[in-house]
Every structure is written in C-alpha cells, then in structure tokens.
Amino acid sequence: MRRTVYVLNGPNLNLLGRRQPEIYGAKTLADVEAECRQAAEAAGLEIVFRQSNAEADLIGWIHEARDEAAAIVINPAAYTHTSVAILDALQAFDGPVIEVHISNVHRREAFRHQSYVSLRADAVIAGLGTAGYRMALRYLGEHALPSS
Ligand code: CA2
C-alpha cells in the first residue's frame, strides 16, 4: 500500500490509438498501461491501472484507493470538466493526486479549460501526450512516496 499507485482513466480513453490520433496520439490504452508498468517498476512502485466509461466506477475506485493506495494518477477525461462527484471523492483521499491530460486542454475549447479535479490535484500534467503518465509516476517515486 505504501508504494501502490492507482492509475485511473475516464470515459472514452479505451478508444486511444483508434480515433483522433492528431489529438491523442497513436498509442492504445494497452500501450499506455505497459509503459506505466515499466515506469512504475523503474520507480519502485506498484500500480493498479484501470479505465471506465462510468462515473460511478471511477468514484468507487477512488474510495477503494483510500485503503489500498498511497497516491492516485488520474485522467478523468470529460469528467474533468463536469464532475463535482469525482472532486468530492478525491477530497476524501489523503495522499498525492496527479491529474494527467494527454492533450493540452488549455489550447482547446473553452469548456476544457475548467477542471473540477484541479481543485484537489497536487499537480497537473497536460500536453505531454501519453508520456505524462510516466512523468507522474516518476515524480511520485522520486519525490512524493517514502521508500520501502
Ligand atoms: O487530453 C486528455 O487526456 C483529455 O482528458 C481527454 C478527454 C477529453 O475530454 C479531455 O478534455 C482531455 C477525452 C478522452 C477521449 O479519448 C479519445 C481517444 C481516442 C478517440 C476518441 C476519444
């Protein structure tokens, strides 16, 4: 638990690599998971990697992380901009939270500039493509989680 990180992904990210590669790149979510596993191993972290299209699943996993994880990396996808419920769930989590966006949301439509999750996140990574997940894990391993 002390070095377990939940890596949570929101709606439509299961389509990564299959549509809109000009925005989200060519890697699939399975590729991203494999890269996260490599980065976690290098950083001495365990990860639990999950994706759902349902807000309730994401909230349930954030609740589960209260007992099971030391940190959360989350790309809430469209729920970033709409979900007070995900913000409330994250407010009940005690460890570091890093919000990741593959695209630079600030260079896109105005509705993507607002993030409820950022009100809780300790850091936000946007626009680095899928490398943002690896950066988040590396940061947690080096700076935020105690060594075992
Ligand atoms: O840039 C990001 O990571 C986003 O969180 C992605 C969300 C979007 O709603 C956020 O504003 C920014 C969308 C995820 C949908 O991913 C797709 C991937 C391929 C094809 C279609 C959707």
Question: Which CATH number do you get for residue 88?
Answer: 3.40.50.9100
Residue 75 identity: N
Say how far apart CA 81 and CA 96 lie, in whole Å: 20
Which pLDDT tens digit goes with each residue over 21-39? 889 988 999 999 999 999 9
Is 90 exceeded by the pLDDT of residue 93?
Answer: yes
| Ligand 1 pocket, residues with Cβ under 6 angstroms | 12-13, 15-16, 19-20, 24, 75, 77-78, 80, 101-103, 105, 112
CA-closest candidate to residue 46, choices 68, 20, 16: 68
Extended beta strands in 31-148, E state: 46-51, 71-75, 97-101, 123-126
148 confidence band (pLDDT: 50, 70, 90):
low
Q: Domain total for the chain?
A: 1
pTM (2 decimals)? 0.97
4-9 β-sheet, strand order: 46-51, 4-9, 71-75, 97-101, 123-126
Average pLDDT of the chain?
Answer: 96
Domain of 117 in residue numbering reads as: 4-144
